[in-house]
Structure 1
């Protein structure tokens, strides 16, 4: 069995490698060569933590496993570690034996950013110039860095519940040589691409705050009851997702479907666009929305890539198990 500790991940996994792994597994899902297992996500009744499991099997890549972890809201203040904690377990699909254990914290951030970045590549207008960020926490910086690689953006605008955190986004914009402007939510009408990455349980972005032709990546809703955008926005949009079953049950589409604004059949797999089975955006004025719920296969794909790199570089720790 191989172990790749969390401390080694930063020197192994690049944004490009994460993007390639996630794009490939989305395509495999749409081709029915890979599937996710039902998600388990529970409040454990201790320190307000949410804990769960996401797993799946990729027949094309022969990757089997799960990610265990969740959200401990008091970690940063109490223990000086990030609130999201996770570990990926990979198994040999031929025998069931454990193959690897991989630190999942940075991988989760990278694969989540890669998912929205994949959606921008395949759904945003080619002439997109302004990117808007809703949310300015730890994950938002990963989102912004990955997104900036997909289009020739000329400006970053941002909004956050706590404006004092917006310098996190401004720093990333400055690194890319781009101006940054803090805006009210109505200012998102000036964005060509919007990424929402919050832990909200109430709609933040309203349908009339989005202009025709915008691409929106909703990345924060991954649990029943969470919500970042007005359900009416999904009715105005061509809706895509990582996995339809998750989108309508724990993703942003749960609210629009529940209110009868859209049907399950209105939600399309992003992998079908990657494969060419779906045409994606149909016009410059169409609003496209990606509901990124986060699937276990994303975690397995990036973890498998890390294990291969770690073995190749002699970093992986081999133990008899």
Structure 2
């Protein structure tokens, strides 16, 4: 069995590699050569933590496995990231454990890559302003990945605690982009692309705050009850997601579906756009929304890529198991 520790991931996985792996997963899912298994995600009744499993099998790539982990809100005070996870890969022919891979950085990279793929596929070509809602650990990853998809000139951002936006300001400056902390109203009025990356259980962006032609990548809602945008926003937008079943149960679209504002059949798999089976953006005036719920196959794809790199570079630890 191979082990690739968390400390080795940064030197192995790049944003480009994560983008390619995640885009490939979207395509495989839509082609029905890969499938995710039902998600388990529960409050454990200790440390205010959410814990669960995401798993699946990609027949083409022979990626079989799971990611185990969750969210511990008190970890920052202990010098740890709030999201903690480990990825397990299994041999599809024998069921033996093939590899154990540190999943924290990989989760951040694949989540950012999913948003980036949605921008690549759905955002207008003439985007100037990137809006970021949220300033937690994941926000900087989102900014770096999404900024590479269009010729953005500046970044506007909002967070409930404005002082936490300094970390995003530094990233924007590194990328040569202007930066301004703004109100939600200003963010919606100025942004061509908006990424929401929070753990909110109440809608942050409201109907009427988003201008025509905007692409939204909603990346924070991955649990029943979480919500980043008002359900009414979905009514007059084109809707896309990674996996429809997950989107309407634990993702952003759970809310407009439950309220009867939209029907499941209105939601399009992003993979179908990548494969050419469905149209993406149909006009520069259209609002597009991508609900990135996060699927286990993405974790398996980036972990498998890391294992291959680690073996090639002699970094993977091989142990009897």
Question: 1-side partners of 2:42 and 2:60: how far apart?
Answer: 31
- Residue 60 of structure 1: aligned partner: 60
Q: In the alignment, which residue of structure 2 is the partner of 1:256?
A: 256
Cα shift at 1:23: 0.2
CA offsets, 1:184-238, max 9 Å, x none?
Answer: 0011211000000000000000121100000000000000000000101111210
Matches within 5 A, 1:159-170: 159-170=158-169
1:78-110 CA-to-partner distances (Å, cap 9, x unmatched) read: x21111100000000001000000000000000
CA–CA distance in 1 between the matches of 2:69 and 2:175? 32
Q: Distance in 2 between matches of 1:260 and 1:168?
A: 39
Measured on the aligned residues, the alpha-carbon RMSD in Å equals 0.5
In the aligned structure 2, how far is the partner of 1:297 from the partner of 1:189? 35
* 1:185 alignment partner in structure 2: 184
Aligned counterparts, 1:1-321, within 5 A: 1-77=1-77, 79-187=78-186, 188-321=188-321
- Other structure's SS at 2:60 match: coil
Give me the TM-score of the superposition, normalised by structure 2.
0.99
Deviating above 2 A after TM superposition, structure 1's stretches of 4 or more consecutive aligned residues are none
TM-aligned CA deviation for residue 14 of structure 1: 0.3
Give structure 2 stretches of 5+ with no counterpart.
Answer: none
* Whole-angstrom CA distance in 1 between matches of 2:62 and 2:96: 14
Asked if the contact 1:137–1:168 (Cα under 8 Å) also holds between the matched residues in 2, the reply is no
Give the Cα–Cα distance (whole angstroms) in 1 for the partners of residues 140 and 201 of structure 2: 21
Task: Output the CA distance in 2 between the equivalents of 1:235 and 1:63.
Answer: 37
- SS of 1:232's partner is helix
Residues of 1 paired with 2:241 and 2:235: CA distance?
A: 15
